[in-house]
Chain A
Amino acid sequence: MDVELLEIRQHMGRFPPFETLSDALLDEVVDRVEVAYFKAGEEILALDQELHELCYIRSGAVEVFRRGGELHNRLGEGDIFGQLSLLRHHRTRYPARAMEDTLLYFIPEEVFQRLCEADDEFADFVELQRPRLESAVEQQKKNNDMIITRVRKLLTRYPVMVEASTTVQEAARQIGDFQASAVLVLDEPGDNPRYTFRDSEDRAWQVRGILTDSDFRTRVVAEGRPPDTPVGDVVVNKMIAVQSDESVHEAMLCMLRNNIHHLPVMHRRRPVGIVHLSDIIRYETQSSLYLVSNIFHQPNMEGLARLAPDVSGAFVRMVEEGADSRMVGSALSTIGRSFTRRLLELAEETLGPPPVPYCFMALGSMARNEQSIVTDQDNALVLSDDFDPEQHDDYFREMARIVSDGLDACGYPYCKGDIMATNGQWRQPLATWKRYFSEWIEDPNPERLLHSSIFFDLDSVHGENVMVEQLQDLVAEKAAQSPLFLAAMARNALNRTPPLGFFRTFVMEKDGKHNNSINLKRRGTAPLVDLIRIHALACGSRSQNSFERLDDIDRTALLAPGVSDRLRYSLELMSMSRIRHQVIDLEHEQPPDNNIEPENVSSQERHNLKEAFQALSHAQKFLKFRYPMPSSRSR
């Protein structure tokens, strides 16, 4: 590429779908770009205007409208528009206007077509019809198929590097400044092309070797060298390194073979980090399996509480290994259930055997196997019908207290809505539960609907499972027969709606307002889970997990073909997005939450999320029509 168009190339290369193009294809695009300026308020594309170019926003902002004139989207730097018209009839479907003074790059149709043919990712990105959601989820799956973890997953930052002429004193200071424990020593290119790379200023360097903390002790201080000794005199000209795509296991073997504790990691010939033996050890001990067996070995509540930090460790690791949301959700639910079960065992040890059979039941996300790292406890006790409050309730009240306090100590705070077995209302014999559920379904009111949305995700954790299964059956049979209940639930599920999408670093609401962050649970996953629950109840599904519910829905003709897939992908994307942001929070030692700030979202992720929001929005609209309020006569 001619250096002179670097300006344009660098800009486009930072934004999807151009960021993933090969250098050669990107050069072709940049070579053919046409530029035009639009003043704020000026029309860029008129409805039905013929269009033979893809539009790319270099600077400024653009508003895109629907046919009827309502705002469809607001786009900023690096966004594209016009692709739909290009793919279809070459007539502008969505007119566009400059919101601010705007500089646009136009990419001619033939270049656009060529990109679609030559690059699948580009084609996926621009073709809405072949759902991008789907391909995004596929992409996540691909990472997940790696049986072995690559060593690059352990890297947290770039290595500290110094020139060979740097003094040992300065090198030691840099190690201190960056809180590192080793530096790489760079020199003019020489004998070893394997470790020769070019820096961002196109200067060639060869990595000569590594200097670690202990080298400073043994080879500098112990030998009495002066502080102004160049590191080049001290470093051993021998590089032992691994490639970033080697497995963690391979990296560990390499360290053991060579008896070293620091291992430089290379991407081709460029150093990208240094792995320390302790990184590997820490990595090995944070598996969720190990954690679960550890939970069952704890002799008391204090021991359990000490394991709380390991939960987030296991969570972060799972995500980094490329687990999908179902794996994460089910692992966290398993861990949560294990804590609960162990606490119940400890309660029984303290209180003696239960006077009547019971079943401890999980509600909400734990019952659905969709627990996240940010969660509170939702639980209840189902007691045998032999239960006599006078005689037995002291025992179960105390049991509920032990479990609830214990869960709180282990990082599962008390439920703000008091949906816990400590609440007498939710510590009842089976017959009472059946009455509750029947009443809720037959005669819904706002409070009962709220309860239904929590209690109708239910599963047993410990005890007589049969009792909870009976309740699951009751819900599945009754709800499907109650149009009024389904209609009321449907109406309730529309209280929380997704936003329109993103605009720059803001969340854009449907009325054009901007927010700094979005609660992805409240505005995304939760309304979608609500919606799936209603369809699942309507088709008599006994599944609790949202994905399994969608499988059940698929066996009926409740949804048009393809719709459940879109919901599945949307749920996966929104869940993973939320999970990834929680990992980012944890890595920054912040308490994780359900909020995401658009500025931390890659533009690819924004596009995916936007489509997930749209899928949810469409599905919500359908819900209203599918479950209408029955007229009073048919009741």
Chain B
Amino acid sequence: MTMLVPRRPQVPDWPAYLARHAERARDPRLARFFAAGTPAPDTPISETPMVALDMETTGLDARHHAIVSIGVVPFTLGRIALSERRYWIVRPQRTLHAESVTFHHITHTDIERAPEFGDILDDLLETLAGRLVVVHYRHIERLFLDDSVKARLGEGLMFPVIDTMAVEARFHRQSWLARFKRWVGRPPASIRLYDSRVRYGLPLYQGHHALTDALATAELLQAQIANHYQPEMPIGQLWT
């Protein structure tokens, strides 16, 4: 439907990738997750079970920083079901910096009482299994998960995601109009989660809570599809 011809990064053949890893994985939990697979790339977005994922971390570098909290909200294009939401605070093995603690509104006491990442992995994988994960800025969520899993199990966790920031970039960074505006010296539109939401008339939420942000991301995807695509859009054209 769109007139834009987005230049897409190389996207792996996700169903094949997951199937391969389902056989290869040593950890039974990971094997189960991979075996649940993903909907076929030609599945319309309107028929795809999805799950919005957001996490708060102590920093931006997966090698040095740790996950503090994870929020997930299963949803479809038509509905976001809050009753199925999950939220975990996890105790990082790396120390917590004072500044990021205030940033996350999570106190040291919360953290001390919290389970470790390994203890919630089961629940997390179960919520994600079989659903297409939706994040805003995949380089945080996917890399941190991969890294945390690797650190514990010695093998990684990769899966397809729809990145709402990348979708936003297609229209506000990579479109001809956006390039033209940049060429004439206009500052590029912000594609951060909360700035993007404003463009679709979505309400302001208090940021930096993993569950609120996951909800915010799910709503943003609904808005993006409603405004730029048809419900029949195949997910293979959206995932990376």
Which residues of A pack against B, CB within 8 Å? 2-5, 7-8, 11, 30-40, 42, 58-60, 100-103, 106
29 A-B residue pairings within 8 Å (CB atoms): A2-B87, A2-B211, A4-B85, A4-B87, A4-B209, A5-B211, A7-B212, A11-B203, A31-B82, A32-B82, A32-B83, A34-B79, A34-B80, A34-B82, A35-B79, A35-B219, A36-B79, A36-B80, A37-B200, A37-B219, A37-B226, A39-B223, A40-B201, A42-B226, A59-B203, A101-B202, A103-B201, A103-B219, A106-B79
Are B71 and A4 within 8 A (Cβ)?
Answer: yes
A99 to B33, CA, bound (A): 42
Are A103 and B203 within 8 A (Cβ)?
Answer: yes
A32 to B81, CA, bound (A): 7
A39 to B200, CA, bound (A): 8
A74 to chain B: closest CB distance in Å?
A: 16
Q: Select B202's contact among A8, A11, A40, A59, beta carbons within 8 Å.
A: A59
A58 to B197, CA, bound (A): 14
| Total cross-chain contacts (CB, 8 A) | 69
A364 to chain B: closest CB distance in Å?
A: 49
Chain B residues within 8 Å of chain A by Cβ, number: 27
Q: Select A102's contact among B201, B205, B212, beta carbons within 8 Å.
A: B201
Are B82 and A33 within 8 A (Cβ)?
Answer: yes
A597 to chain B: closest CB distance in Å?
A: 25
Instruction: Say yes or no for B2: interface residue by CB 8 A criterion.
Output: no
Other than the known A5-B85, A7-B215, A39-B223, what 15 A-B pairs have Cβ atoms closer than 8 Å? Answer: A2-B87, A2-B211, A3-B209, A4-B210, A11-B203, A33-B82, A34-B80, A35-B82, A36-B78, A37-B202, A38-B226, A59-B203, A100-B201, A103-B203, A106-B79
List B contacts of A11 (CB < 8 A).
203
Chief secondary structure at chain A's binding surface:
mixed
List B contacts of A5 (CB < 8 A).
82, 85, 211
Instruction: Say yes or no for B58: interface residue by CB 8 A criterion.
Output: no
Are A59 and B206 within 8 A (Cβ)?
Answer: no
A533 to B80, CA, bound (A): 54
Are A39 and B82 within 8 A (Cβ)?
Answer: no
List A contacts of B200 (CB < 8 A).
37, 101
**Beyond A2-B87, A31-B83, A101-B200, is A7–B206 a contact (Cβ under 8 Å)?**
yes
A101 to B223, CA, bound (A): 8
List A contacts of B227 (CB < 8 A).
39
1/0 per residue B203-222: CB within 8 Å of A? 10110011110010011001
A32 to B80, CA, bound (A): 10
CB-CB nearest in chain B for A108: B83
Are B203 and A58 within 8 A (Cβ)?
Answer: yes
A227 to B131, CA, bound (A): 66
The interface centre, meaning the residue of A3, A33, A37 with most chain B CB atoms within 10 A of its CB, is A37
List A contacts of B80 (CB < 8 A).
34-36
A100 to B205, CA, bound (A): 19
List B contacts of A34 (CB < 8 A).
79-83
Of all A-B residue pairs in the complex, the 5 with the closest CB atoms, nearest first, are: A101-B201, A4-B211, A37-B222, A35-B80, A59-B203
A11 to B202, CA, bound (A): 14
CB-CB nearest in chain B for A38: B226
